[in-house]
Amino acid sequence: MKKTITVLTALLTVVASLSGCGKKDDTPQFIDTNTAKKSVYTQTATVQGSTETATEAVTEHISPIETVTARQGTQIDVDKTIQRSEGSNTLKLGLGDFIEEGDRISSFTFIIYSADGNNIGTFKGGCGISVSDRCSSATSEGWYQSDDFTASTQGTYAEIKWEVPENIKDFVSAGGEVLFGYWWGNAESIRIESAVCSYERTRDISVDGTIEHDVGKSADYDSSDNMIAVPLDFLPENSVPQTVTFNISSSGKFGKFTGAFACKEGDSYKQSADVAIFTDDSSLSLTWFLPEKAKNFLNEDGEVMLGYWWGKQKSMSIDSIEVKYSEGSGTSKYQPIEQTAEQKTENPAESAETGSKFRTASQITGEIKAGWNLGNTLECYDYTDWTKDAETAWGNMKTTPEMIEAVKEAGFNAVRIPVTWGEHLDGDTINKEWLDRVQEVVDYAYSEGLFVILNMHHDDYIWFNPTDEEYPEDSRKYKKIWEQISERFRDYGDTLIFEGMNEPRTIDSPAEWSGGTHDEREVINRYAQDFVSTVRSTGGNNSERSLVVTTYSASAETSAINDIEVPDDKNIIVSVHYYAPWKFSEGTETVFGDSQKRELDGKFDELRTKFIDKGIPLIIGEFGCVNSADEKTRSEYYEYYVSSAKKHGIKCFVWDNGVATEKSSYGIFNRANLSWNTSILDGIMRGTE
């Protein structure tokens, strides 16, 4: 049985700090180990309103550096179908789902099946990959396209391997994409089930010693217990494991080993992406470069694990493991982000540097408890065939002050107000009646002291198309709309936040919901800068207002979050939408268990590393699950989601479209009688504690 995977991403190393009037603060802070050679303690004392910082150096052991190189392979599930016909015969995958920066790719293997039942016959296709501008072998700017090639198949099944040319390997980065194309075969369409990237990883790691430990344990891939655990009680006290090499064997050729690394401490469990290695040998060495979080996660009671999902041989044995370790304090445990005293202030304090009474974006996200979306209301579009009332077109009542009061009383302290503007324009000018109504609804929440996010929502269905060709005209219109919104709300305080776009994307494109292409993501980055520059240019409170920008389609896919270019501005919040695990969220699965929790934790780890640890505030602007699972399970889902996100420094806005049953039933608040699904509401609020 295959187990669900979460990708572990590297966190920053914990160092101790001191704060307050000479009192030690046990809350860990994070620094980048690439720039820090020695830990320091920082003590902050406040005297008569001034802050002085003193730094006391602490003598610390510096480990020798060893360069380690190992063969690696990552497999991802794809489950996408492409046609043989031109225009729909290619698929692009983000390289960030396979590798980390600095890895050197050797090949890709695509596992395909006929989608129409016909034998594939001789496969003809091609592959391509993003390369840097320095690559002299590029076939076009930023891209290398292979020659067409053929491959034999096994009826309705095939493993199509592409060897990446040696002369481009050093010009491929984790932020790019790989393309798989199907030009000809007997099947009209094929389904790409999965893809394997084989690569070499080289890292400089801290090593004080190496220990080889005999194991002698076996597992069967078809067993419910197909993971082998190895306690690390043989390591020296206070040591930190850096790499673990599993030396494994079987009774015959592995063919293709598929499994995963994991670590465990108590009831907590962390797992890597799928590992896949092609080999004709009966023995294999698999090296796991432990991410920082995995290192900090393990102590003397911890275990490392290897799972066995598939191979030509039913059984696999771990003969021994080799652990490279460094000496450490043993106290650098991963901890949830806690709000500072500054972040917990209820009113904006005047900045000594700028004289501003606006809180920073980080302070604001720190103060958000939980957010609620006024969904399917002011963002309605394409409704004129049956009504003239945009606000009620999709079945919800007109928004009232009492509704927003009920949202506040339920425990939410933030409201996101989605708005579509394209249906209410005269040329580029927003209809005054519509802008007045939007302002009225904003005031309902603003006057209650709630944080309010006001956005541009479904305009991409009406006039906005993020392509290079349409950028000049669409950018002009986009800036004109935001100029008018900004002018109207210019004098509002810092509890009003603008969000440039909802899920900006190319409608109906092949990668619409999978993170987009590199070119599409680049265009969205330009619009993000347009948004920030336009709002700032209107002056007044807009010069310091917190602004929200999104990834392509607000996607949490690795390729999308890797390619976002956050505008260089002190008050920017990044937003992603993360309806996950997707099958549970959209209702085709009704179980929310350990594997689903690991999927959430893995993505939150990745988001924290990419943004929070770098000082960039992040929110999840939309999440939720439809009314498919039983109420107890749904309540547990909302509680775990909000709680885990909070531990990673991320605050969440629940999507509520007012629909309580059947399709797209994300509704949890009955706006007619001002009543809540109390089971789910209680789950959300428990998650914020």
Active site residues: 503, 622
The two tokens of residue 393 are: 């077109």
Asked whether the beta carbons of 120 and 90 are under 8 A apart, the reply is no
Asked whether the beta carbons of 232 and 302 are under 8 A apart, the reply is yes
Q: What angle do CA 45, 51, 53 make, to 5 degrees?
A: 65
- φ, ψ at 486 (rounded to 5°): -65, -40
What letter represents residue 82's amino acid? Answer: I
Among all chains, which residue has been given the structure tokens 């929200």?
548
375 three-class SS: coil
Asked whether the beta carbons of 399 and 412 are under 8 A apart, the reply is no
Q: Three-state secondary structure along 67-97?
A: EEEEEEEEEEEEEEEEECCCCCCEEEEEHHH
Distance of CA 101 to the CA centre of its chain: 17
End-to-end CA distance of the chain: 36
Q: What angle do CA 90, 552, 628 make, to 5 degrees?
A: 90
Distances (CA, A) of 501 to 434, 454, 520: 18, 10, 15
Calpha distance 581→557 (Å, rounded): 13
Asked whether the beta carbons of 96 and 558 are under 8 A apart, the reply is yes
Residues 6+ apart with CB under 8 A from 653: 370, 371, 372, 373, 414, 416, 453, 619, 620, 621, 622, 623
547 three-class SS: strand
Calpha distance 555→680 (Å, rounded): 25
Distances (CA, A) of 81 to 148, 152, 196, 583: 20, 19, 17, 18
Distances (CA, A) of 537 to 355, 487, 527: 19, 10, 15
Q: Three-state secondary structure along 453-518?
A: EEECCCHHHCCCCCCCCCHHHHHHHHHHHHHHHHHHCCCCCCCEEEECCCCCCCCCCCCCCCCCCH
Distances (CA, A) of 686 to 325, 579, 598, 637: 39, 20, 20, 11
Calpha distance 104→92 (Å, rounded): 19
Asked whether the beta carbons of 498 and 545 are under 8 A apart, the reply is yes
Name which of 124, 5, 12 is nearest 76 in CA terms.
Answer: 5
Q: Indicate the angle between helix axes 518-537 and 471-488, nearest 10 degrees.
A: 30
Among all chains, which residue has been given the structure tokens 């003969």?
319
The two tokens of residue 256 are: 């293709």
